[in-house]
Amino acid sequence: MKGRILITGYNGELGSKTLKELVSIGKSVIALDINDPKEKIHSVKYIKDTIANKQLINSIFNDYHISEVYHFAALLSQTAAQNPELAFEINEKASKNLIDCSYNFGIKNNCITRFFFPSSIAVYGPRKIENASEQDIIKPTTIYGNNKLIIEQYGSKLHEQSLFKKIGLDFRSIRFPGVISYDTVPCGGTTDYAPQMINNAKKGEKFECKLSPNTELPFIGIDKTISSIIDIMDLEIIESKLRAFNVQEANFSVTELSDFLLQKFPSFQITYNENKSFQSVADTWPSSLNCKRANKFWNFSKEKDFEVFLEKIINK
Ligand code: AKB
């Protein structure tokens, strides 16, 4: 039977573009979000509810043959820091339930449910390192980072159990850096300063930055973000006990970004008003990522020059 795909958080930056890509390649999608769709696609079944509604999640798996899950519903780092209880409910409890339902569906139907989980560079810490590889120190200091790590570990555990049974769950995860889109300006994240600054520079508006000038972080463009999600989920099998993969296209400091934008938009004005909540988080996240494993498994390649990367972003 042709399986259906379940996407949670389809209104978000990653969910909305993944939904469009999956529909474009002929997938039959059930899309769950707490808000109404910003634009409706005829073939998609939309459900407006929270992923915390366990009864709803159970009914989706009872009513449909769910072959793949793309789980984007989450609170980002700064929102999670301000709402720790809600972050636990959504980023951990509801996410675990979704993984359980996916696993149990596979066991009950003698099949494998493929599960994509967008993890984050937030799992790294407690100190800032360069060229972080997936095996590097994983002691997150933020609520969000702990949420993400707990779900990575939970999904990997059920994946391990499924390997032995050859039915259940195939859990796959990418540790995303800051994502930069052309048409959406995210908020609620620590890395959102970059898309926000680019957006303001393009609109001729000044920008007040919450991070210090020398703060360096890794980033990826939305196109490469979506293609990485599709690529990792397209792999028939991933022969790796470690189920999380790093991706980045470029890494740069706040100053490197602002200097680049000043060259392109000479009237652009940036001021600094360091925010402890943002800076303390950014100081524990890696300044750059080693993406060798993603390159090995699905030929992921990162941009060599951050200015080439930024040129592509601002010219879209
Ligand atoms: C955030 O800044 O919270 C996210 C992330 C890097 O996970 N963009």
- pLDDT single digits (tens) 27-43: 999 999 999 999 999 99
Q: How far is the CA of 23 from the centre of ligand 1 (A)?
A: 26
Mean pLDDT of 44-54: 98
Q: How far is the CA of 95 from the centre of ligand 1 (A)?
A: 17
Q: pLDDT confidence of 1, banded at 50, 70, 90?
A: low
- The structural domain count of the chain equals 2
pLDDT at position 211 is 98
- Looking at the CA of residue 177, tell me the nearest atom of ligand 1: 6
Are residues 231 and 204 part of one domain?
no
Question: Which among 90, 190, 196, 197 is the best mutation to test ligand 1's pocket, defined by most ligand atoms within 8 Å of the CB?
Answer: 190
Are residues 121 and 81 part of one domain?
yes
Q: How far is the CA of 173 from the centre of ligand 1 (A)?
A: 15
Question: Which among 176, 217, 254 is the best mutation to test ligand 1's pocket, defined by most ligand atoms within 8 Å of the CB?
Answer: 176
Nearest CA to ligand 1 atom 7: 120
Q: pLDDT confidence of 18, banded at 50, 70, 90?
A: very high
Q: pLDDT confidence of 278, banded at 50, 70, 90?
A: very high
Q: Is the model's pLDDT at 123 over the cut of 80?
A: yes
Does 254 reside within a domain? Answer: yes
Are residues 143 and 107 part of one domain?
yes
pLDDT at position 137 is 78
Does 25 reside within a domain? Answer: yes
What is the spatial distance between Cα 223 and Cα 286, in angstroms, rounded to a whole number?
22
Nearest CA to ligand 1 atom 4: 189
Are residues 187 and 120 part of one domain?
no
Mean pLDDT of 82-94: 98
pLDDT at position 185 is 87
Residues enclosing ligand 1, CB less than 6 A? 76-77, 120-122, 144, 176-178, 189-191
Mean pLDDT of 264-275: 97
Q: pLDDT confidence of 64, banded at 50, 70, 90?
A: very high
Q: How far is the CA of 177 from the centre of ligand 1 (A)?
A: 6
Are residues 200 and 173 part of one domain?
no
Name the residue among 301, 179, 293, 186 with its Cα closest to residue 242: 293
Nearest CA to ligand 1 atom 1: 189
Question: Which among 192, 196, 210, 284 is the best mutation to test ligand 1's pocket, defined by most ligand atoms within 8 Å of the CB?
Answer: 192
pLDDT per residue as tens digits for the range 203-261: 999 999 999 999 999 999 999 999 999 999 999 999 999 999 999 999 999 999 999 99
Q: Could you tell me which residues are beta bridge partners of residue 8?
A: 32, 71
Q: First and final CA of the chain: distance in angstroms?
A: 40
Are residues 50 and 133 part of one domain?
yes
In the chain, the DSSP E strands lie at 4-8, 29-33, 45-48, 66-71, 112-120, 168-176, 178-180, 207-209, 216-221, 244-246, 250-253, 270-272
Are residues 59 and 136 part of one domain?
yes
Does 296 reside within a domain? Answer: no
Average pLDDT, the chain: 96
Q: Is the model's pLDDT at 182 over the cut of 90?
A: no
Are residues 227 and 211 part of one domain?
no
pLDDT at position 304 is 80
Strand order in the sheet with 29-33: 45-48, 29-33, 4-8, 66-71, 112-120, 168-176, 244-246
Are residues 114 and 140 part of one domain?
yes
Burial label, 172 (beta-carbon count in 10 A; 0-12, 13-18, 19+): buried
Does 106 reside within a domain? Answer: yes
Given CA atoms 17, 170, 108, 25 in this order, what sign does their dihedral have? positive
Q: State the CATH number of the domain containing residue 132.
A: 3.40.50.720
pLDDT at position 183 is 80
Does 299 reside within a domain? Answer: no
Q: State the CATH number of the domain containing residue 280.
A: 3.90.25
Are residues 207 and 170 part of one domain?
no
Does 295 reside within a domain? Answer: no
What is the spatial distance between Cα 182 and Cα 245, in angstroms, rounded to a whole number?
24
Are residues 98 and 195 part of one domain?
no
DSSP string, 108-121: HTTSEEEEEEEEEG
pLDDT per residue as tens digits for the range 93-120: 999 999 999 999 999 999 999 999 999 9
- Looking at the CA of residue 78, tell me the nearest atom of ligand 1: 3
Domain assignment of residue 34, given as a range: 4-177+221-246
Does pTM top 0.85 for this prediction? yes
Are residues 148 and 270 part of one domain?
no
Does 66 reside within a domain? Answer: yes
